[in-house]
Amino acid sequence: MVDRVFLKFKDDLIQHVNSNDKFLKFFYSKRSHVLVVLLIAYYGNKDNATFENINSKIPNLICSRTSIKTILDQGVAKGLFLKKSSSRDKRKQLYKLTPENQKKMHDWVKRLQNIFS
C-alpha cells in the first residue's frame, strides 16, 4: 500500500512539475517558491500575507529575505499574486493569490488528500 502511495505521488509530481501552466511552473520551480506560495495561500484570505509575516515563517537557511522579496515581486509581475497596501498600515503590502491560483492550490490539496488517504 505504501509503495502505491509513493508511485502515485511521484506521478502527480512529475505531471504537474512539467505542466505548461505558468502558476504551477512558478510554484514547483524551487522549494522556496513552494513555501512562499503556501504561506500566501494560507495568510492571503486573512489579509495577513505581508513580507514580514512570510519572512518570519521561513528559516533563513532555506531562503533569505532578499530571495523572499524577489519571489513576491516575480509573482506580482507575472500576475500570479495580487498586491495591495494594508488599510491599517499603508507601509505594509498584502499579498494574495489570484482567485484562479487560489483554486489551483485548493485542487492541489484535494489531489494530495486523494493520494495520501
Q: What is the count of structural domains for the chain?
A: 1
Calculate helix-pair angle for 99-116, 2-17, nearest 10 degrees: 160
Range of the domain at 52: 2-116
The pLDDT tens digits for 10-64 are: 988 888 877 889 999 999 999 999 999 999 999 877 878 999 999 999 999 999 9
What CATH number is attached to the domain comprising 108? Answer: 1.10.10.10
Contact 68, 36 (CB under 8 A): yes
Q: Which long-range contacts (CB under 8 A, 24 or more apart) does 65-68 make?
A: 67/32, 68/32, 68/36
| pLDDT for the residue numbered 82 | 95
| pLDDT for the residue numbered 19 | 81
